[in-house]
Chain A
Amino acid sequence: MTVLDARPIADAGDVPLRVVVRRNPADRVYRGVARGGGVATLTLMGFIGGFLLLRSFHVLNARGFAFLTEKRWLAAQNGPFGIAAVLPLTFEIAIVAIVIAVPVATVAALFLTEYAPRRVRRLLTSLVDLLAAVPSLIYGLWGLFYLQPHLVHVSKWLSDHLGFIPFFHVQNGTALSAFTSSTFIAGVVVSLMVVPVCTTVMREVFAQAPQGEKEGALALGATKWGVVRTVVLPFGRGGMIGGTMLGLGRALGETIAVTFIISPFFQPRASILANGTHSISALIALNFSESVSNPTARDGLIAAGLALFVVTLGVNAIASTIVARSRSGASTEI
């Protein structure tokens, strides 16, 4: 430390001070560790992306745009291959899962934060967390052996009564076997895995809804539902969108349960009830063993993996942006 200059401060000139912060060693160590953790995450991400790109580069280079336009996948047979069918089908499964999961998760999260008695709330919250921890293999097994035999009746009913909608139209839809292994059934099973993720994100946001505004609504004579509508849902909108996107990210990448359910199909189509669908992750899982010995086929699968990586990363990036943006009224704190 220098001795303070006796000159009046005004003499120092009207220029911004260069602020120097001296940190003590403990602070420096902590900052180093924290920074290291952050850098490691990014590095890992970079390594994965770089590896996928490196390994698939020669395949992508050789096949060019055909990789994006080819529907079939005959890499192991040294035939043409591309993701024009599996990528849209991946999205179809994920969207079916989200359409089912989001309303369920929203209602569940509202119940947990607003309606459930205190004790029930604690129990149910840990149960939801537990559901998120169940391995997807278990969901797949249950979906295949229990859900599918029941769901085909739902599929048939939808097709019989709402078949005029392209999504529910099934050709030759008289036998129940025409409805097995469909996008719909795979989507339902994936939705089971998405619900806990969405519920947790939404519950955490709903629980932060400002008490003052909730009491304000109650003092006007609002019912519980009125409070939810005017305060909790507008406040939680960002969290709902974010939770949905995170769920979508998980649904896009879900592998084993989808692999169990589907029967491979290489034609993108509107009908979600008809037998046969596919997804990128299921494609990789199903074709991996016969492709390891064939460098082109193997690296083709890695290229498919790269496509999934990019798509999932994009979805999650959008999700985190929306969550971070939160709500428009966040500036009302005085």
Chain B
Amino acid sequence: MTSPSELDPFETHTGRPRSMPAPPPPSPPPAFDNTEAAPVYARFTDTDTMTLPPDPFIARPASRSAGITAQNVSAWFGDHKVLERVSLDMAPNRVTALIGPSGCGKSTFLRILNRMHELVHGAALAGVVELGGTDIYRGNLPVTETRRRIGMVFQKPNPFPTMTIAENVVSGLKLSGMKSTRSYAEIVEDCLVQAGLWNEVRNRLAAPGGSLSGGQQQRLCIARALAVEPHVLLMDEPCSALDPTSTRRIEETIAEICERITVVIVTHNMQQAQRVSQSCAFFLAGENEPGRIVESGPTERLFSEPEDTRTLDYVRGRFG
């Protein structure tokens, strides 16, 4: 266990070695494989999210997805234990949804996966988190590089308001000191297309990021997160503040990017979890007890025939 004193909330590694070791091979096959029930996504035909023909000038990066594994993860805020021995495999190229009522530790778990948890004063954690087989807490990977590889989209859209839309997209490249062979203009277009925002903003890339609507801001944040070429994208209730149209577009974006990136999404919306995810984990915290995973597995099974009655009650909307 890591005691609170060992976690310095102000510690930030500066400078990333220019030559990072190549990402290790993907982790072993996931514990829960859902090959039988391949999900079918509704394809909307509006211009913004139409599947684009392959563009020879935009080289789509090959899959860089890496699985992320948590073993026996516990978490504390001061003396208050919020998570207990949570283990979960989040397989590469899949969408894993974390569901459960408020206060059950889903978001805390998500923030542990990219080392954002330790930024909170008094926060502590125990257990092992591995990205493609590399321990992100005990390994040699600098924390900034860990966070670049494991991107995050937050509940509340947080574009940089003083930057333009285009600057927002490439901000991560500058912040993480990442070198890219592609020009900024290409990256801006590619990432905005992936995030389903390109058609709405193509003529005003120089407008401030704050001038967009909430749903557009959130898609801008997704584009920004994709620009640094993460292996994993964590999404903390990305649609909870958005209208249904924006929600739909973001779900389509998730379906598209999970071909290349591992996605972990926290959601309060049961239908959303069913729509976007292939795997699902149900978190629950008893009264005055830390949160635990009650059940995890293929989304289809968890929603149709869960093993635990509490899961059944939750997914049927009987509580939470």
Contacts and interface: CB of A to CB of B under 8 A. Distances in A.
- Tell me if chain B binds chain A: yes
Contact of A334 (B119, B152, B241): B241
Interface in B175-215: 175-176, 178, 208-210, 214
Contacts, number: 107
B301 interface: no
A220 B13 contact: no
A218 B121 contact: no
B105 interface: no
Interface residues of A, number: 29
Interface in A203-236: 210, 212-213, 215-226, 230-231, 234-235
Contact of A221 (B145, B163, B221): B145
Interface stretch (B153-161, B248-256, B265-273): B153-161
Given A225-B14, A332-B210, A219 B114 contact: yes
A63 B171 CA distance: 61
Contacts of B176: 220-222, 226
A329 interface: yes
A220 B10 contact: no
Contacts of B10: 115, 117, 224
B162 interface: yes
A220 B121 contact: no
B161 A329 contact: yes
* Secondary structure dominating the interface of A: helix
Given A220-B148, A225-B14, A215 B154 contact: yes
Given A216-B221, A230-B171, A224 B12 contact: yes
Give chain B's interface residue range (CB within 8 Å of chain A). 35 or more
Contacts of A172: none
Interface string B1-23: 00000001010111110000000
B175 A213 contact: no
B263 interface: no
B107 to A, nearest CB: 12
A100 B178 CA distance: 35
B160 A219 contact: no
A328 interface: yes
Given A117-B10, A230-B171, A334-B241, A219 B159 contact: no
Contact of A223 (B12, B210, B214, B221): B12
A231 B159 CA distance: 10
Contacts of B225: 219-220
B175 A220 contact: yes
A219 B147 contact: yes
B132 interface: no
A331 interface: yes
B21 to A, nearest CB: 16
Given A223-B144, A225-B14, A329-B161, A217 B175 contact: yes
B13 A231 contact: no
A316 B319 CA distance: 58
Contacts of A210: 158
B167 to A, nearest CB: 10
A118 interface: yes
A230 B161 contact: no
B144 A222 contact: yes
Contact of A219 (B15, B151, B162, B210): B151
B157 A223 contact: no
A221 B175 contact: yes
Contacts of B157: 334
Listed residue (A213, A219, A230, A330) with the most chain B CB atoms within 10 angstroms of its CB: A219
A58 interface: no
Contacts of B208: 328-329
A327 interface: yes
A213 B158 contact: yes
B9 to A, nearest CB: 8
A334 B155 CA distance: 12
A220 B160 contact: no
B172 interface: yes
Interface in B23-47: none
B312 interface: no
A54 B29 CA distance: 89
Contacts of B145: 221
B224 interface: yes
Interface in A183-217: 210, 212-213, 215-217
A216 B158 contact: yes
B13 A223 contact: yes
A251 B161 CA distance: 34
Given A219-B147, A334-B217, 5 more contacts: A216-B154, A216-B224, A223-B175, A329-B208, A331-B161
Interface of B: 8, 10, 12-16, 114, 116, 119, 121, 144-145, 147-149, 151-152, 154, 156-163, 171-172, 174-176, 178, 208-210, 214, 217, 221, 224-225, 228, 241
**Top-5 shortest CB links A-B:** A329-B161, A221-B148, A221-B176, A220-B172, A332-B210
